[in-house]
């Protein structure tokens, strides 16, 4: 099983959108039993809050209708559980390193390399955030499936 966690600052916009999108992509690919997908925050400021209404509305506009979520905080022990820790921007990496100490296993990476996905809570551009996250999740899933296939062929 591949365990992925998406992380952003508050866990009410970008990371839950990524969680919902990735869950939808693996469901559509009929491989959902091969994945554990979650999302968390680097900050406690939104702890327990639901997905931001405009983020949820954007997911629903795109056909992702059944997604509920309460913001959670990434903890040091989460590092060992997940195979991939996917962040939205450079500041998320810095915040995670503050929590976990270091990334010796090289699990932490941006959803889109060399690109920060802007926080739509500030920009109010939920369409752009959705599109960036969707494209990043598609590429990530394709990469993971290619790695899995290569690993299977090498055994």
Q: Which residue matches tokens 């009410």?
A: 12
- Pull the structure tokens for residue 40: 């968390």
Q: Which residue out of 13, 38, 78, 119 is catalytically annotated?
A: 119
Closest CA to 38 of 67, 61, 59: 67
Q: List the catalytic residue out of 8, 38, 132, 137.
A: 8
Q: How far apart are CA 139 and CA 81, in angstroms?
A: 23
Active site residue 13: no
Q: Residues 21, 4: contact at Cβ < 8 Å?
A: no
- Strand order from edge to edge, sheet including 84-87: 35-41, 2-8, 84-87, 108-110
DSSP conformational letter for 32: G
Residue 8 annotated as catalytic: yes
94 is catalytic: no
Catalytic residue among 13, 14, 38, 132: 14
Indicate which residues carry an active-site annotation.
Answer: 8, 14, 119
């Amino acid at each position: 099983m591949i365990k992925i966690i998406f992380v952003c600052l508050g866990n009410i916009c970008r990371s839950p959108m990524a969680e919902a999108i990735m869950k939808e992509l693996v469901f559509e690919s009929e491989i959902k039993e091969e994945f554990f997908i979650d999302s968390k925050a680097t900050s406690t400021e939104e702890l327990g809050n639901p997905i931001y209404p405009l983020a949820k509305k954007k997911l629903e506009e795109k056909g992702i209708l059944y997604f509920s979520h309460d913001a959670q905080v990434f903890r040091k022990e989460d590092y060992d559980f997940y195979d991939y820790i996917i962040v939205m921007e450079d500041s998320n990496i810095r915040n995670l390193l503050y929590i976990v100490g270091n990334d010796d296993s090289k699990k932490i990476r941006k959803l889109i390399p060399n690109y920060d996905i802007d926080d739509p809570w500030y920009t109010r551009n939920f369409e752009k955030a959705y599109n960036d996250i969707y494209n990043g999740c598609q590429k990530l899933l394709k990469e993971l499936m290619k790695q899995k296939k290569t690993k299977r062929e090498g055994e």
